[in-house]
Amino acid sequence: MRVRLTACVPALLLALAATGARAEDGNFLSNIFKYGGPTVPPSQPKELEAPYCPPVGVSEGGAALQTLAGRTADKPNIRTQITLGRLARECTRREDGSITVKVGVEGRVLLGPAGAPGRFDVPLTIAIKSDEKVVTSRFRRIATTVAPGEAQGFFSVIEEDITVPAAMTRDYEIEVGLGGSGPKAAKPAPRRKAPVAAAPASPEQTGASQ
């Protein structure tokens, strides 16, 4: 037994010298038994719970949009018919408990009897709702082109980093729709009219006042 113990001591001393025996790494022997090596392995990131990620819905009346050449929606007056196509989403949980949502939208612009090839702007609104109330929304105008000789054009957009607050991550909705409007510009403050200077009194008025 003494021979075996003596033979192990130099190997143990060499291992201690190689690791530097730093106090912050804990006890050398306990690290070997606990972690399988002389040093403490780096801490692993906390595994987050899989996020709730509802399918993308379409707002009421937001699946299609027409532009007209006249006041009535008669077929001869239709310039374009815009419709939504495939919808997709991806949700990621953050360490603070909130969720970030990425939404993908595809659609097409179809020329009507009064339409002509060219460039078109497609208005699109993406919203996060909770308890039927809008938590946050994004408005985009997506440029698409119908080439000469073609009857339709296609568009796609990916909107990222839409945040769902931590308190609403178990019950929320993702909703898209054609139409809507961007933030309204603030109205300029009305200008104040400069005061009109009083006309100097005439000699007759001055004499009358005396």
Residues belonging to the chain: 210
**What are the tens digits of pLDDT across the range 158-176?**
999 999 999 999 999 999 9
Return the domain boundaries, the chain. Answer: 2-35, 56-178
Task: Quote the CA–CA distance of 126 and 57 in Å, as a whole number.
Answer: 10
CA 135 to chain centre: 12
Fold classified for 56-178: Immunoglobulin-like (2.60.40)
Residue 21 Rama label (left phi>0; alpha psi -120 to 50; beta)? left
Nearest to 48 by CA among 110, 112, 93: 93
Q: What is the mean pLDDT of residues 100-115?
A: 96
The answer on pLDDT for 14 being more than 60 is no
pLDDT digits (tens, 9 = 90+) for 15-29: 544 544 444 445 655
48 touches 41 (CB < 8 A):
no
Checking if the pLDDT of 193 tops 70, the result is no
